[in-house]
Amino acid sequence: MDKLETPRQKKINTILQQEIATLLQGAIRQQNVSNLMISVTKVHVTADLTSAKVYLSIFPTQGAQSHFENLKENSFKLRHDLSQRMKNQLRRIPELQFFLDDSLDYIESIDNELKQGENPIKNPTALEPRQKK
């Protein structure tokens, strides 16, 4: 059974999500990359606030894996920048763990299957099984 998040965790999730998104958008602008969009879909901090799982959606999906790997390699820089922005709000910035959020791809595959005439409700094996992380 999953433990419910405390109100404090929910607030920190929201603040981290906003701040990480702002930092990533700023980094994309600095690199002058016009065809890349990264959105922070979810953030979950642990109860002791030492670790945070950050779920990202990267568009376009063609080069998403290379951008994701680059982001993971530079997560220490993002954490440092985050600590500079939030030093008056949080005493300790959690370790950031990044995950790709594939929910939009999954929705698109469902939509494509529905359009092709193969009804996944009648034939559940028509869809690729989603991997849980």
Region of residue 93 (phi > 0: left; psi between -120 and 50: alpha; otherwise: beta): beta
- Lookup: tokens for 28: 């994309």
Q: Give the pLDDT confidence score for residue 65 in this predicted structure.
A: 86
pLDDT in tens, 8-36: 999 999 999 999 999 999 988 888 877 88
Which residues, at least 6 apart from 104, have a Cβ–Cβ distance to it below 8 Å?
Answer: 57
Average pLDDT over the chain, rounded to an integer: 85
- Lookup: tokens for 44: 């979950």
> Domains in the chain, start-ordered, CATH in brackets?
7-101 (3.30.300.20), 103-133 (no CATH)
